[in-house]
Amino acid sequence: MGQYAIRRVLIAIPTMLGVTIVAFLMIHLIPGNIVQVMLGTRTNVTPQQIQQLYRLYGIDQPLYLQYWHWLSQLLRGNLGFSLRTGLPIATLISQSFGVTAELALGALVVAVVVAVPLGMVAALYQNSPWDYLARGVALLGLIIPNFWLGTMLVMVTSIYFPVLSVFNYVPFLTNPMVNVKDMIVPIITLALSLMAIITRMTRSAVLETIQLDHVRTARAKGLKQFAVNMRHVLRNSLIPITTIVGLQFGYLLGGAIVVENVFSLPGMGRLIVDAINQRDYPVVQSSILFVSAIFVLVNLVVDISYGFINPQIRYQ
């Protein structure tokens, strides 16, 4: 197991190097640069001033030199500074990632706690009213867009439950009570679609598992239904559920831009999208690299968790 984890981490190094190249090229090759976006179409500037600004932001150099400058800073552990705000990128990421991690983790916990039992009940009582109810709820979760649900909840809470209405983020460590209160509605908004996906995945995984021989044998030897469901059905259904949960969690850690925007949460999604719009190159590059590293890490944890869920799985 240890060797497997180390090997995976080593494999991640060239992957991350590839990410640096892709992230760098993507933001530099799209039309429009930081100086153009900053000046817009209304400022009265001379070509000399524009050249001076190019020099100031270091974008008058060839791309390979700019890339090498960024990479060499990265290798020294320096993520760099935002060109537009002058703030250290490490500070920006640590502030934003805290918000996103809390939002993603909260949504994931709520979704799993609701969706796994719902999916199991739907599968165990297939084609019963419980099944239809679970499938209906899951379908709703899939078809209701985040932006609409979030907007509705913002309006409804502002009118009827102003105490839940949140427009300024308070970190958990600053005031846990206020933080939890403020995060309830955004977490529910984000959790709904996640819940729908996990419910459907759980239902189909459980449906497959209950038809397997060892489940029938467990029932035949007289085990109670609850024990069969928990020990033999659920546990053997967990591999696909864990996979989908891990993937979704990885995506969410990259930022949930819609929910972050609607609820004014200063998370990773807003950080990256704002930086792209402003062509704040170092922020875009370093943030994407950070999110990629987190994604690789989450996938590694998921892969390792397979061995605990099913001891038959061995890592070579």
Partner 1 sequence: MTNKRWLVAAAALLLPLSLTACGSTSSATPGSTALAATSRPNIGGTLTIGIKGDALTMDPMLTTDEYSKSVESLLYNSLVKLGPQQQVEPDLATTWSVAPNGLVYTFHLRPKVSFQQGSPMTASDVVYSFHRIMSPQLASPWSSFFGSVKNVQALNSSTVQVTLSQPDAAFLPVVASFLVIMNPTFVAQHNGDLQRVEDGTGPYMLQKWIPNESITLVRNPHYFVPGEPRFQKIVFQIIPSTTARIAALQSGQIQFAEFSDPKHFAQLEAMASSHTIVAKRYLSSDYNMFGFNTQWGPFRHQKVRLAFSYAINRSAILASAGFNQGQVTGILTPALSRWAIPTSDYPSYTQNIAKAKLLLKEAGYPHGFSFNIMSPPTLPMDEASAVVIANQLQAIGVTAHVVPTEWGTYVNNWVKRNFESFTGLNSDWTDPDLAMYAALHTGGSTNAFQFSNQQVDQLLQEGQATQNFAQRFQIYSQLQKLVVEQSPMLFTFAGYDLFGMSPTVKGYVHVAGDPFRTLDAAWYAKSHS
Residue 77 CB, nearest distance to partner 1 (Å)? 21
Residue type, 128: S
Residue 34 CB, nearest distance to partner 1 (Å)? 9
> In whole angstroms, what separates CA 276 from the centre of its chain?
18
Residue 14 structure tokens: 């060239």
Residue 182 CB, nearest distance to partner 1 (Å)? 11
Residue 304 CB, nearest distance to partner 1 (Å)? 34
Cα distance between residue 110 and residue 193, in whole Å:
11
Residue 127 phi, psi (nearest 5) = 65, 15
By CB under 8 A, name the binding residues for partner 1: 30-33, 36-46, 48-49, 52-53, 56, 84-87, 92, 95-96, 147-148, 151-152, 154-159, 162, 165, 167-169, 261-264, 266, 270-271, 274, 277-279
State which residue, 88 or 117, has the beta carbon closest to partner 1.
88
State which residue, 111 or 166, has the beta carbon closest to partner 1.
166
Which of 239, 248, 258, 260 lies closest to 304 in space, CA to CA?
239
Cα distance between residue 218 and residue 232, in whole Å:
8
State which residue, 95 or 204, has the beta carbon closest to partner 1.
95
State which residue, 61 or 264, has the beta carbon closest to partner 1.
264
Residue 43 structure tokens: 């400022």
- Distances in Å between the alpha carbon of 112 and those of 93, 191, 230, 285? 27, 9, 16, 32
Q: What length does the chain have?
A: 316
Are the beta carbons of 172 and 179 closer than 8 angstroms? yes
Cα distance between residue 272 and residue 229, in whole Å:
44
Residue 21 CB, nearest distance to partner 1 (Å)? 21
Are the beta carbons of 266 and 260 closer than 8 angstroms? yes
Cβ partners under 8 Å of residue 29, min gap 6: none
Cα distance between residue 277 and residue 32, in whole Å:
10
Residue 278 CB, nearest distance to partner 1 (Å)? 8
> In whole angstroms, what separates CA 44 from the centre of its chain?
42
State which residue, 52 or 305, has the beta carbon closest to partner 1.
52
Residue 90 CB, nearest distance to partner 1 (Å)? 13
State which residue, 33 or 243, has the beta carbon closest to partner 1.
33
Helix (H) or strand (E) holding 60: none
State which residue, 92 or 118, has the beta carbon closest to partner 1.
92
State which residue, 73 or 95, has the beta carbon closest to partner 1.
95
Cα distance between residue 284 and residue 278, in whole Å:
10
Cβ partners under 8 Å of residue 222, min gap 6: none
Residue 31 CB, nearest distance to partner 1 (Å)? 4
